[in-house]
Amino acid sequence: MPARATDARRAAVLGSPIAHSLSPVLHRAAYEELGLTDWSYDRFEIDESALPAFFEGLGPEWAGLSLTMPLKRAVIPLLDQISETAAAVEAVNTVVLTEDGRRTGDNTDIPGMVAALREHGIEQVDSAAVLGAGATASSALAALARICAGEVVVYVRSEARAAEMRQWGERLEVEVRTADWADAARALRAPLVFATTPAGTTDDLAQAVPERPATLFDVLYHPWPTALAARWSMAGGAVVGGLDLLVHQAVLQVEQMTGRAPAPLEAMRRAGEKALAER
Burial of 78 (C-beta count, 10 Å sphere; 0-12/13-18/19+) = middle
CA nearest neighbour of 194 among 127, 251, 149: 127
Provide the annotated active-site residues: 72
Burial of 20 (C-beta count, 10 Å sphere; 0-12/13-18/19+) = exposed
3-state secondary structure 12-50: EEEECCCCCCCHHHHHHHHHHHHCCCCCEEEEEECCHHH
How many whole angstroms separate alpha carbon 192 and alpha carbon 239? 10
CA nearest neighbour of 107 among 33, 172, 191: 172
85 three-state secondary structure: helix
Cα distance from N-terminal residue to C-terminal residue, the chain = 37
Beta strands in 51-210 (DSSP E): 62-67, 81-82, 94-97, 103-106, 128-131, 152-156, 176-180, 192-195
The 8-class DSSP code of residue 174 comes to -
CA nearest neighbour of 234 among 212, 260, 253, 202: 212
